[in-house]
Amino acid sequence: MTTLSAQKPRLSFWQIWNMSFGFLGIQFGWALQMANMGAIYEYLGAKPDKIPMLFLAAPLTGLIVQPIVGYMSDHTWHSKLGRRRPYFLVGAIISSIALIFMPNSSTLWMAAGLLWIMDTSINVSMEPFRAFITDKLPDDQRTRGFAMQSVFIGLGSIIASALPWMMSHWFNVQNSLVAGTIPATVRYSFYIGSFAFIAAVLYTVFTSTEYPPADIADLQKKKEEKRGIGAGAAEIFHAIANMPKRMRKLALVQFFTWPGLFLMWFYYSPAVARNVFGAVSEQDALYTKGVEFAGLTLSYYNLVTFVFAFFIPFLAAKLGRKYTHMVCLLAGAAGLISVAFIHNPYMLYASMTGVGIAWASILSMPYAMLGGCLPEDKVGIYMGIFNFFIVLPEILASLLFGWIMSHLLNNNRLLAVEIGGCLMIIAAVLTLRIKEEE
């Protein structure tokens, strides 16, 4: 029987497809909140300078949950579900329930609380998926494996981001313009997302297998020795203190990359509604129209991601992983900065083309570069720690950017998106420091 420590066999296209398919469902959860939570908060009465704080749930849960889940999955072996799949399944069940309740929120704090639950459970599902690719694939197939995840992330986002627009234009769902009411198009979209999440994860659970550890008895012995919060915390802190050199450099790239995306997710949809469509309030019909159109363009950038992800392995083979990532980040920066100069809504598709190219690389290249430098018995915990450098800048943005918006930017949503593009340029330059032989 093939073991985790043995030479890993190359997998077929369809095997990689099956093991990545669950990300389609996970991305339904992420994309629905990315495209709609800023607007949902404004529908429920939030002011622009308060929105970053309301998004604090996602980074805090990621900071805490992902390394813990990574540690636990490294020390798990279930005779039927394996190492990572139990966590896929539990997270998917809870996430699907939260997706049903979210669009029925009646107050800001109810929505924020449900977002916290939803983000926790999505993190429980998502973190082991990253480790799953590293567990199963040899190094020369990891770029393809993470690119396949990007394909499903792109596809899931295409559909999920466009769902409210589809509900309105294809199925003629009518929205209420009553203050404090979440539109029916958003509610139905979240219900569809709930079903898609659990169905996609179940597909991966039932169509993929995992390699057992070389010595199951030894794994069980180590699990007993390291039982308890103290042992787990000690191992996490030891891993942080001993991060591989390549991981440290990649972490700095991540630290500057993700704020650009967060600022887009915080403010892009309301900015399009107000600055491009000319809405004057959340009750203005143009506001709902603008938010729906913004969702459509977010869907489009995920279409770009879906298509471009197929070409990333070939581009990386020609340019190398780090140069591929640098070029893609610069394309994303150009897309974000250009949003502030657009008055014709259809020109937003050009901006989102650059963002889609960057997103495809962000979801694959850092993990492909990281996987080869991690010890195989600690892949889960290190993938969770790597997530720190996504969520720490988001925590800073959530805590500080509200003050910046109200005191320095005069609540200018478009300027916030531009700043995100500038941060992405810094990340692109930092990519040049990475040496894959480290």
Look at residue 3 and tell me if it is in a domain.
no
Cα–Cα distance measured from residue 138 to residue 6, given in angstroms and rounded to the nearest whole number: 11
Look at residue 8 and tell me if it is in a domain.
no
State mean pLDDT over 94-106: 92
Q: Token digits for 115?
A: 């977002």
Look at residue 6 and tell me if it is in a domain.
no
Q: Residue 78, Cβ neighbours under 10 Å: how many?
A: 11
* pLDDT of 71: 84
Domain count, the chain: 1
Look at residue 235 and tell me if it is in a domain.
yes
Domain that holds residue 283: 13-433
Range with lowest mean pLDDT among 2-11, 221-230, 265-274, 369-378: 221-230
- Percentage of the chain modeled with pLDDT above 90: 31
Asked if residue 271 has pLDDT above 90, the reply is: no
CATH code (residue 343): 1.20.1250.20
* pLDDT of 226: 56
Asked if residue 327 has pLDDT above 70, the reply is: yes
Range with lowest mean pLDDT among 209-218, 310-319, 426-435: 209-218
Residue 403 pLDDT grade (very low, low, confident, very high; cuts 50, 70, 90): confident
Asked if residue 334 has pLDDT above 90, the reply is: yes
Most confident of 191-195, 307-311, 342-346: 191-195
125-184 per-position pLDDT tens digit: 888 888 888 888 888 888 899 889 888 988 888 888 788 888 988 998 887 666 667 888
Phi-psi region of 278 (alpha: psi -120 to 50; beta: other; left: phi over 0): left
Look at residue 353 and tell me if it is in a domain.
yes
Look at residue 7 and tell me if it is in a domain.
no
State mean pLDDT over 66-94: 86
Residue pair 300/356 in contact (Cβ under 8 Å)? The answer is yes
DSSP 275: I
Asked if residue 3 has pLDDT above 50, the reply is: no
Cα Rg for the chain, rounded, in angstroms? 21
Look at residue 329 and tell me if it is in a domain.
yes
Asked if residue 192 has pLDDT above 90, the reply is: yes
Residue pair 52/397 in contact (Cβ under 8 Å)? The answer is yes
State mean pLDDT over 86-91: 92
As a three-state string, the secondary structure of 67-91 is: HHHHHHHHCCCECCCECCHHHHHHH
- Percentage of the chain modeled with pLDDT above 70: 92
Cα–Cα distance measured from residue 60 to residue 62, given in angstroms and rounded to the nearest whole number: 5
Tell me the pTM: 0.74
State mean pLDDT over 324-351: 93
Look at residue 400 and tell me if it is in a domain.
yes
* pLDDT of 8: 80
State mean pLDDT over 229-252: 85
Residue pair 235/71 in contact (Cβ under 8 Å)? The answer is yes
